Structure 1
Amino acid sequence: MSTSLDSALDPMEEIRFRKKHGSMWMEIQKDTHFTFDELEKIMVIFFKIQKRDEKPAASDLISRSHFRDVLHTGLGMTDSYMMERVMVALDRGTSPYVTMATFAKAISLYLRGDIEERIAYAFTCYDLLGEGHLRRETMYQLMKKSLAKASRDDDVEEAVKELVDIMLKRMDLDHDGVINFTDFRQCVLTTPSLIESLGYCLPERPAVYAFLGTWCPDWGKM
């Protein structure tokens, strides 16, 4: 992660921060996989990010751009197109800021989220129009963005069309011409690797281990 987050906090700053938001964290913890002590460590990371803003909008907000920096440098999520979808999936809004609650829930999902949480999150990332199902056109757009970065072949469009056909045959379990959430969930539960079949929206395990080793090295001892 960026060294700009590595500087130690003034002890008094940290104490004031903890006292100010401790009661809020008790509510946030209920929606995460963290103990309260673990959540406090995550919130200290949040505070370090916040200190990069010269004029933070509020004490419980950080800018989206700084949050994306954490995902990029700390968790290896580098697909700029998919990052737009990730932000929508995480907070469902258009605000330029990320709340403490959204930050905590996102880090909980990426570090400890179970398969059901990850399936729901990934499907939301891919559901560009918020329709509750994935149309052929949506799948084409997602896969074209992904393949265009990995290939300079002029035949990318044809290759994408073929892949979309294959995915529909594989994942459209009720044969209605779209992949609904039930289709997607069942396919991923059967074949977990399909969860990112339409774009990389989750950090890889080595990035997760690196994040934990850097920022939460004592968690295994707690």
Structure 2
Amino acid sequence: MTEKNLPISMAASAIALRGVRLFLSAGRAAAGRAAAGRVDPPKRKTKLPGNKIHQDALEILLRATRFNKQELEALHCMYKKLVLAAQSAAPSTGISQPNKLDGIEQNTFRDVMHNTFDLVTEEVIVDRVWVTWERGNGGEGSIKFDAWVRGLSVMLRGSDDERISHCFAVYDLNNDGFITRDEMFILLKNSLLKQPGDEDPDEGVRDLVELVLKKLDIDKDGKISMEDYREAVQQEPLLLEAFGQCLPSKRHAATFLKTLSNK
């Protein structure tokens, strides 16, 4: 039968794509949940320095994010705890020399994404989420409080356009403004589990790449631009996380936001 005789709607294709990814990544997700566990609480209480946000910084974040004052103060307290926990766990830098961690470092960030927001997804995705958040030292350092709050605001309460921009930035592996066939291949291959007896698992990934490209490449130039991606997702929201989960589920987002209100 020809393609003309078998029309595939955008919604049906998106559902099929997501179904294939979820089915093939089920083993990895289950293993990740079993291994993740919860972060053990600190064995001893540590007095948190400077739990109050400076008034000027507070006013800026109230305007720049979708958190209220109570939520920002709760996030600040959480941020301090995460930084201090990472400092306690880090190897000593020398006799009587304090550890120089002054923000959320990558391992702590990864733990929060996995254990708090249940982003049991491919490591390449979690690492890309880390890369897209603003950090000190030219992007090499840890995440400071301002960037921590702004990033969470997009993930938890971002507008449709903010969430689209976030996901696109995660998937654009070389930051050139396009998602290419090669990048799609890397992202999708990392989400698939090789099955026993598979002689050429890459062939199936290449087929999936072509299917996704057909749905997302609106201008048919062989790669996905931000404009292509935005238009495709606006037509079919299920395509937002076509290459891997990089946003928390509504349930986990709501649970986390509830804890901020209860602080």
Band of TM-score, shorter chain: 0.7 to 0.9
Structure 2 distance, partners of 1:77, 1:57, is 28
Which structure would you say has the larger Rg? Answer: 2
Q: Which runs of 5+ in 1 are unaligned?
A: none
TM-score by length of 2: 0.72
1:81 to 124, 127, 130: 124
Q: CA deviation at 1:195?
A: 0.7
Tell me the percent identity: 29
Query: How do 1:183-194 residues align onto structure 2 when only pairs under 5 Å count?
Result: 183-194=228-239
Aligned: 1:117 with 2:151: no
Q: CA deviation at 1:137?
A: 1.1
After superposition, give the CA deviation of every residue in 1:178-211 in whole Å (9 maximum; x if it has no partner). Answer: 1110000011111111011011111112222332
TM-score by length of 1: 0.84
- Code of the residue aligned with 1:113 in structure 2: it is G
Aligned: 1:142 with 2:187: yes
Of structures 1 and 2, the one scoring higher in RCO (CA 8 A, sep 6+) is 2
Q: CA deviation at 1:50?
A: 1.6
Structure number with the higher helix fraction is 1
2:74 to 41, 45, 54: 41
Aligned: 1:132 with 2:177: yes
2:51 to 10, 13, 17: 17
Aligned: 1:68 with 2:110: yes
Query: How do 1:187-206 residues align onto structure 2 when only pairs under 5 Å count?
Result: 187-206=232-251
Q: CA deviation at 1:58?
A: 6.1
Q: CA deviation at 1:89?
A: 1.6
After superposition, give the CA deviation of every residue in 1:17-55 in whole Å (9 maximum; x if it has no partner). Answer: 216x44323223332111122211111111111221135
Q: CA deviation at 1:129?
A: 1.3
Q: Which residue of 2 aligns with 1:169?
A: 214
Distance 1:173 1:198, change over 3 A: same
Aligned partners of 1:56 and 1:62 also within 8 Å: no
User: How many residues are treated as equivalent by the alignment?
Assistant: 212
Q: Which residue of 1 aligns with 2:41?
A: 4
